[in-house]
Structures are given as structure tokens and as C-alpha cells.
Structure 1
Amino acid sequence: MKLYIWRGVEYKSWEQCKVQTQPDGYTVESLITGNHFGKIFNVKYVLRLDKRWSIQNFEIHLEIDGAKDIIKGIRNGEDWEINDIFRPEFRGLLYIDISLTPFTNSLPINNLMLMIDQSFKINVIYIDILNKNIRRVNQRYTIKSKYEYFYENYDTNFVSPISVDRNGIVRSYPNLFELVSEGINKNA
């Protein structure tokens, strides 16, 4: 089991993330706590990924200023159900992007396996935790060097470099997230 801790710069948050390798892929469990513009939040998410880092299902437990909620997503072939509701606009999507964590940026980075200067446009299920909004978003990832990517969000015109470690896990997402610790739990 690999352990990661990120500091959220913009969200004034801390995230403790565990990535467990399974025979059929990965299980990711994470806890995030923070305070963004006076909204105090606690989030626990569990992701199930296949061996190619494509999302299979997810469960997000959130508490914002004392109000609790759950967001569940299950992929059935090409189709998605979010909180038991069929969502045709997400058909064929392989990735999610959770607003409060850099970890979900590692999904397309590991799945796309781009060559230097190659880029790829993708669509993701974007989960804006603090605004409780789930929508389809257009993004592009371009690899600049072995550990450096350039991220573009076409819906908001947001762009940023992203640096990753040798496993494709986000280390630095300037002004948003910084990895402060990583390790291996040999007892897990």
C-alpha cells in the first residue's frame, strides 16, 4: 500500500490517501479536511480502478458545514449511474475529476501513457464537491517531459503545469496542491 499526503493550498486542506494494488487494479481510499472561504469540509472517497487506471466505481462521503451527503457512481460497461440515476451524458467516460484532490488527475496521466510533447483531449465526470455539482468537462493533458504535464480545462479556460512522480502520482499542482509526504505501508 502506498501512502500520500497533500496540502491543499487554495482549499486550505490536508489529504491522506492510500493506494492499494489489487489483482484486477487499484483501490484508493482518501480523507480530506479543510476550510474554503468559510466552508468547513470533510470528505472521504473510495475509488475502484482497473489495471489501466480507468474508474470503475466511486463513493464519496462528504460533510460541508455539518450537512452530510453521499455521491456514488457505478460504471456498467459504457454507461454510468450516479446515485442510482442513469446519466447518458457520461456514456463512455473513463475518468472522474474530484475538485478537492489532485489524485484524480493521476488517472488520465497513467491511463493515456503519452509520449513527450504528445497531448490528448478527454472528457471527464467532474465532481465539484463544495458546490455539489456533477457535470461533463473537457480537458487536455500534454506531456512536456518525463515528469511534467500541462493541464487545460476547456470549460473554464484554466491551465496549469502538473508534476508527477515516477508512478504518475501528482506531486505538484501549483497554487492548488503540493505533495508533502509519501511512503509505503509494508504491513498492509
Structure 2
Amino acid sequence: MSDLVVATAHWRALDREGEDKCRLSPTAHGWLLVGHARFRDEGGFAALDYVVRCDEVWHTLSADIAGVHDDREVRFHIQRDSGAWLLNEIEHIGLDGVVDVDLSFTPATNLMPLRRLLEGRETSLRSSAAWLNYPEPALKRLDQTYARTGQPDVMSYMAEQTGYATQLGFDQTGFVTLYPDLWEGEVTHAG
């Protein structure tokens, strides 16, 4: 793991009691997100730590989630291997062409497609994610569209399978700063 931290995001949940803190760090061959989500939902109190590994162009390589939820151990390992997506070593089908992971319990994983859009010249980006709709132990396809709005710190967002659409506030790092009705946060930059 990298000791260098580019930025740290700290979010407060708006739809329940909870918070999340995530660090963005470079690695020798990509990027690392290391986060700590704490929240209370209908299943009880959850303390989940997560690590998401990305390549140089912000495509997910793997992710690990570990912690407890209402005294139950939680442990997921997600791996993208030659186009196949595995959850705890079991391949999940229907994820052809997927390059991102989306962890439903944190806004951190919106960073990867936002970074790709911010670093390109396109006005919109259509991306598919392997969606872990926690606490369900399965990966499902989530087709997402991010589009520039003309405001420098706001993107339009839509998730096809859920029909969810909103305007996301974001920081120059790609971290979301406002996910209406779900999360709000701030980003601290290194240096």
C-alpha cells in the first residue's frame, strides 16, 4: 500500500446515521482507495473497511470489504480477471465489458468513472459497473451515465437498471461531495 495520500474524503450519510472516510493514493501501477464506512440500517450497525485497487486508467482491478454488521462478520473479495468478475472466487455472469466496481454503501466508487470523464474531452461517459448492492452477496450489472452539466463541480448521473437519476457535486479529485438525499462531504487535499 502507498503511504502517499493525494486526497481524503469524509462523508456524512443523509438517509441514515452514518459516515464514511476514504483516502486516494497512487500505487506503482495505478490507484488505491482505502475507506472506512460506519452506518446503522435496518440490519443493525455496520463497520465496513474497504480497499479498491485500480489501474492507471481508473479501471477496477479488485476490491476487498471486511468488517462486521450487527455482530456478523462481513468479508467480500471482488476480482476482475480477464474480463470475468468474481465475488469470493465465484464468477458472476452478465458482466461482460464491465470495468468498474460499485459498492452501494459508499460514494467512493463513483470516483473511477468521474476521473475518466474529467481526464477526457467527452461531455458524457457511459460506464458499466459490477454492483455490490450490499448486503446482498452478489454482483449485478449497473449501467451508468455521467454527463457534464456546464457547472465545473456538478455532473449529471443516471443508473439504468434502477432508474435513479440525480446531479452529483464533486471535487477536482473525482470524489463526490454531494449525493443528494444520500451523502454530503468534503475533501481534504494533500500538501
Match of 2:58 in 1: 53
Q: 2:28 aligned to 19, 23, 26, which one?
A: 23
How far 1:48 moved relative to its partner? 0.7
Match of 1:100 in 2: 105
Match of 1:149 in 2: 155
Post-superposition Cα deviations, 1:122-149, rounded to whole Å, max 9, x if no partner, equal 2211111234443111221111133211
Rounded Cα–Cα distance in structure 2 between residues aligned with 1:10 and 1:135: 23
Q: 1:120 aligned to 99, 117, 125, which one?
A: 125
Post-superposition Cα deviations, 1:92-133, rounded to whole Å, max 9, x if no partner, equal 3110111111111111111234547x2233221111123444
Rounded Cα–Cα distance in structure 1 between residues aligned with 2:70 and 2:51: 21
Match of 1:66 in 2: 71
Rounded Cα–Cα distance in structure 1 between residues aligned with 2:132 and 2:111: 15
Q: Counterpart of 1:57 in structure 2: which amino acid?
A: S
Q: 1:168 aligned to 150, 168, 174, which one?
A: 174
How far 1:44 moved relative to its partner? 0.7
Rounded Cα–Cα distance in structure 1 between residues aligned with 2:51 and 2:154: 26
Rounded Cα–Cα distance in structure 1 between residues aligned with 2:61 and 2:94: 17
CA contact (8 A) 1:148 1:161 kept: yes
Match of 1:82 in 2: 87
Q: Counterpart of 1:45 in structure 2: which amino acid?
A: Y
Q: Percent identity?
A: 21
User: Is residue 12 of structure 1 aligned with residue 24 of structure 2?
Assistant: no
Runs of 4 or more, structure 1, over 6 Å off, are none
Alignment RMSD = 1.9
Unaligned runs of 5+ in 1: none
Q: How many pairs were matched up?
A: 184
TM-score (norm 1): 0.88
CA contact (8 A) 2:43 2:69 kept: no
CA contact (8 A) 2:87 2:138 kept: no
Rounded Cα–Cα distance in structure 1 between residues aligned with 2:85 and 2:162: 24
